[in-house]
Structure 1
Amino acid sequence: MPTAENVTLELTDIQSGALHERPSPYVGAYLMLRIDDPADGRELVRRLVDVVDSGVPSSDPGKDAWITVAFTYHGLKALGVPQTSLDSFSLEFREGMAARAEHLGDVGESSPEHWEKPFGTSDVHVAIAVLSPDAAHLEAVAERARRAHQELDGITVVWRQDCYQLPTGRTSFGFKDGIGQPTVEGSGRPPTNPHERPLKAGEIILGYPDETGELPPMPTPDVLGRNGTYVVFRKLHTKVAAYRQYLHAKAANRAEEAMLGAKMVGRWHDGTPLALSPDHGDPELGGDPHRNNDFLYGDDPRGFKCPVGAHARRANPRDSFDGESSVDTRLHRMIRRGTSYGPTLPDGVLEDDGADRGIIFVFVGAHIKRQFEFVKTQWLNDGIFIGAPNEADPLVGANGHATDFTIPQRPIRRRLQDVPPFVTTRGGEYFFAPSLSAMRWLADLP
């Protein structure tokens, strides 16, 4: 068994999407497939093995285009995976996201009964993500994916979502995204935060020691689980007009609107963290990947620079708990692979145009429960850990009800009341992205 101090990732066996950043700019597509015939399903996997890229770093810019493949519990079952192996997967994965919706805060508008079909049903079996730096690369890579399921009558495409980087390079809410990702030990990728040592490989990839020094529970047989990882997929509709209306109503001018938005998120629109520049944005700093993640929160315990309830600080508290509690934030770190979909709402527009726009949230990690589910339920949906039980994350907290948001300031703090939900879950699922050798094992199932 490898030790935590001596880990060499088997990069040639790990799917590239688990460790590689998405290209920027990017265009892409997510496909959901249903397997109606096990033989065709195994033939699909056999073909996909040849088009999925491994996690070996490449110096070729053209290799920024890649395909990632993952399977739901029902998908693995449809392929003919033995029940003893199916039972060895984590409980969360076996139950599926819809069954855990109330626990996750997916209630009201976000409840599974309102999700886009086939999410929330047993018809989602395979997910294929295709991401490229431009349309030409996308078409070439997408064609490889199309050929994999062409002429297989037992395979049906049941859902598709196109995505692309908005012209501003930001999310639909207007903020620079993709900042603050952890570095994985043995991945060959340098850290962007010199204050944070790389995560142990087992936090992200199965078969290696994690931050506890132990091997995470892994599906059996070994060839199926090792070098695989869990993937959480969520389509999140963003209510941009409602968000702008709320800020407009609470602010005296555009400058104050920008300030309130930054306090909610924890960063200015250009990516500048409040921890480094609490009074104004700095485009040069915000756009520098070597600087915009180079900070901690330990010198701002009360949140005068960055509120403790801000989205970015909730999702990654960094050193906020050092010396104050038994919480080890490193046990809850995760890799995010967010992308945008839908048209941008023109700047200054306050009325909803009816368009579907938002974020495809993708989590990659070895522990669905203590990574994604813990952060979602304990840090984003609940305010107890920051001493504000009635306050949820102002952007992506528990759905179905309004929340408050406190902005510490001298001499008197400011409290924004009745912050409405700005994000609605439109669907999602738990997947498992197997290694390349596991995909060959799946293709050869009897």
Structure 2
Amino acid sequence: MSTAEGVALELDDIQSGALHERPSPYVGTYLMLRIDDRADGRELVRRLLTIVDTGAQAAEPALGAWVTVAFTYHGLRALGVPQESLDSFSPEFREGMAARAEHLGDTGESAPEHWEKPLGTDQVHVAIAVLAPDAEHLRAVVDRARSAQEELPGIAVVWRQDCYQLPTGRTSFGFKDGIGQPSVDGSGRPPSNPHEAPLRAGEIILGYPDETGELPPMPAPDILGRNGTYVVFRKLHTKVAAYRRYLRERAANRNEEALLGAKMVGRWQGGAPLGLSPDRDDPELGSDPHRNNAFLYGDDPRGFKCPVGAHARRANPRDALDGDGSVDVRLHRMIRRGTSYGPMLPDGILDDDGVDRGIVFVFAGAHIKRQFEFVKTQWLNDGIFIGAPREADPLVGGGSGEPNSFTIPQRPIRRRLTDVPPFVVTRGGEYCFAPSLSAMRWLAELP
């Protein structure tokens, strides 16, 4: 139990993935499994219990790698969870991401009919994420998980994605990642932004009060829902060459090219936020975890330092919306775990080499609809809240393939970038539920 901030989190019962950062550097693997035999499915859960880490031990994983296990709606049904319990999960989870694709903006090239199979279908039942500091530890744990599966003929691996931290420590677009995570009350992790209080535990973990002061809706029975969290998994292909080419064509020199990229993202490639360093990159600031997230947007209401439509500001407006009182930003925060897949596109290359590269995004929270779906549809895909209804997020907004526009406030005349092509394509996704260890035991012993 942890009571450091006044709330008692049952850390020994909570899977570590929702509360603790991934290692850096890291290598990892995501596995999707299908359950063809109910008894084998329950035996798989029983075996996975021996390798899943808890929030209390995440700093030192028992097997040298961090393992998180989650289930789709179809997976819980395949295990034999009673229909009454299945019906108690959130509507979004029961429907699944593919069924909500149009609402999310996953249309055109990002539509489910173009996703990697079997993502988005009823053939995905179990999601396993394994992250380790090096390949040796990863291989040991993945081999153990695979051997457990191979001994059970009623379990099939239907999809796999390997990932790793790129040599630069940045995303495929070239930007330092993993900055700006909220801390969770009771987790033992201090906030990285001293201007923001930790989120109430119920925003991330079910069974505790959230920012409204109430308990969020929780699946029944209590042993199934308590200490669990919803997990949103998305594989996103990045069009790095198109992104570089777009900036190159609209910049007079390399310095302006870097500035345009920073304006679109909200940070310089080295991680320094525009809110603290609006005119130049500051790698020392960007690499300092005590400073690179310690800022707000309230002193920059018009976006002269960081455009209001920049990706980082859209995804987390911080105090920028406090003035009108229409939105409580804290109700839409979530834990984000991003990992890279595929090799880097070599520096200076402006033509697509045909290699698949991108980001696997994993979001954790207690409310799929008002966290992930709200941010995706209202803040990233739409520009109404920033006063630009025809603008979407310049990196990940929309998804239909239609050109976008992006406004950069500056004096004396603002600059407006037009015909911004889509730089990110959804390759698949799932809504999952990461149960507590107690819930996993309950699933393994279903009658």
Contact 1:104 1:373 in 2 (8 A): yes
The residue aligned with 1:430 is: 431
Deviation (angstroms), 1:148:
2.4
The residue aligned with 1:366 is: 366
Deviation (angstroms), 1:140:
1.8
CA distance in 2, matches of 1:131, 1:204: 21
Question: Helix, strand or coil for the counterpart of 2:70?
Answer: strand
Report 1:119-268 matches (<5 A).
119-268=119-268
1:315-341 CA deviation, whole Å, 9 max, x = no partner?
000000112222100000010000000
Deviation (angstroms), 1:145:
1.5
CA distance in 2, matches of 1:175, 1:384: 27
CA shift in 2, pair 1:267/1:441, >3 Å:
same
Contact 2:241 2:349 in 1 (8 A): yes
Deviation (angstroms), 1:61:
8.0
When normalised by structure 2's length, the TM-score is 0.98
CA distance in 1, matches of 2:154, 2:74: 15
CA shift in 2, pair 1:62/1:151, >3 Å:
closer
Deviation (angstroms), 1:58:
5.2
Contact 2:231 2:363 in 1 (8 A): yes
1:65-116 CA deviation, whole Å, 9 max, x = no partner?
2100000000000000000000000000000000000000000000000000
The residue aligned with 1:16 is: 16
The residue aligned with 1:301 is: 301
CA distance in 1, matches of 2:144, 2:331: 37
Given the alignment of the two structures, is residue 314 of structure 1 paired with residue 332 of structure 2, yes or no?
no
Contact 1:46 1:439 in 2 (8 A): yes
The code of the aligned residue for 1:152 comes to L
The residue aligned with 2:421 is: 420
CA distance in 1, matches of 2:324, 2:260: 28
Given the alignment of the two structures, is residue 66 of structure 1 paired with residue 66 of structure 2, yes or no?
yes
Deviation (angstroms), 1:146:
1.8
Given the alignment of the two structures, is residue 439 of structure 1 paired with residue 440 of structure 2, yes or no?
yes
Deviates more, 1:429-438 or 1:148-157: 148-157
Q: CA RMSD in A?
A: 1.5
CA distance in 1, matches of 2:171, 2:204: 25
Question: Helix, strand or coil for the counterpart of 1:378?
Answer: helix
Deviation (angstroms), 1:143:
2.3
CA distance in 1, matches of 2:130, 2:383: 36
CA distance in 1, matches of 2:272, 2:59: 29
1:212-246 CA deviation, whole Å, 9 max, x = no partner?
00000000000000000000000000000000110
The residue aligned with 2:81 is: 81
Deviation (angstroms), 1:360:
0.1
Contact 1:23 1:64 in 2 (8 A): no
The residue aligned with 1:29 is: 29
The code of the aligned residue for 1:421 comes to P
CA distance in 2, matches of 1:219, 1:197: 28
The residue aligned with 2:45 is: 45
The code of the aligned residue for 2:410 comes to Q
Contact 1:113 1:120 in 2 (8 A): no
CA distance in 2, matches of 1:113, 1:127: 21
The code of the aligned residue for 1:185 comes to D
CA distance in 1, matches of 2:148, 2:217: 32
The code of the aligned residue for 2:79 comes to L
Question: Helix, strand or coil for the counterpart of 1:163?
Answer: strand
CA distance in 2, matches of 1:140, 1:49: 16
Deviation (angstroms), 1:200:
0.2
CA shift in 2, pair 1:59/1:361, >3 Å:
closer
CA distance in 2, matches of 1:337, 1:433: 14
CA distance in 2, matches of 1:59, 1:129: 17
Deviation (angstroms), 1:410:
0.2
CA distance in 2, matches of 1:57, 1:65: 11
Contact 1:29 1:160 in 2 (8 A): yes
The code of the aligned residue for 1:405 comes to F
Deviation (angstroms), 1:64:
6.4
Aligned pair count reads 445
Contact 1:22 1:337 in 2 (8 A): yes
CA distance in 1, matches of 2:61, 2:373: 35
The code of the aligned residue for 1:409 comes to Q
CA distance in 1, matches of 2:323, 2:420: 32
Deviation (angstroms), 1:49:
0.7
Question: Helix, strand or coil for the counterpart of 1:300?
Answer: coil
When normalised by structure 1's length, the TM-score is 0.98
1:253-292 CA deviation, whole Å, 9 max, x = no partner?
1111100000000000000000000010111100000000
Contact 1:236 1:427 in 2 (8 A): yes
CA shift in 2, pair 1:347/1:9, >3 Å:
same
The code of the aligned residue for 1:180 comes to G
Contact 2:407 2:414 in 1 (8 A): yes
Contact 1:22 1:64 in 2 (8 A): no
Structure 1 unaligned blocks of 5 or more: none
Given the alignment of the two structures, is residue 391 of structure 1 paired with residue 407 of structure 2, yes or no?
no
CA distance in 1, matches of 2:145, 2:190: 31
Structure 2 unaligned blocks of 5 or more: none
Deviates more, 1:381-390 or 1:248-257: 248-257
